[in-house]
A = this chain, B = another copy of it.
Amino acid sequence: MKIENQELKKTFYNKCAEKELKITPQRSLIFDELSKATDHPTADAIYKRVRKTLSNISFDTVYRTLLSFTEIGIVNLVEGTGEQKRFEPNLQQHHHFRCIKCYTIYDFENDAYNDIAVPEDVQRQGVIINKRVVLEGICSKCKVK
């Protein structure tokens, strides 16, 4: 396991303790599996992966667990336009390029985007937790077709 994953695991234990979520084999496995993922998987995709280790885990457990992870902030829900929910590990701030044809999401990092200021009128409307730039378009693969 890489250093950054050990760090992630620590956050997992800390946050679970803080929010009074018990550490179960299912939760631990689901967390590990999502931490490895680079493809913004759906709950169903994670379910298929964890079943290789825990063959009788239920889909409901996977789904519920992913949602509770997003609630305590150790996992992110990825924005889309109404398809299945997609999840990603809560890594450093990054942004998304989303293909409107195949729905693939490409991550990218950009310091200028990280530093954009929140307008004052929006600050008055609530507390901002996330800033993200979403670029939408057609990816090279879909362009070819």
A contact residues vs B (CB 8 Å cutoff): 77-86, 97, 99-100, 106, 108, 110, 112-113, 116-119, 121-122, 124-140, 142-143
CA distance A137 to B136 in the complex (A): 22
- In the complex formed, the residue of B with least CB distance to A99 is B126
CA distance A38 to B74 in the complex (A): 33
Contacts of A124 in B (CB 8 A): 140
Chain B min CB distance to A144 (Å): 11
Contacts of A125 in B (CB 8 A): 97, 106, 139-140
Do B130 and A137 have beta carbons less than 8 Å apart?
yes
Do B81 and A78 have beta carbons less than 8 Å apart?
yes
CA distance A122 to B85 in the complex (A): 24
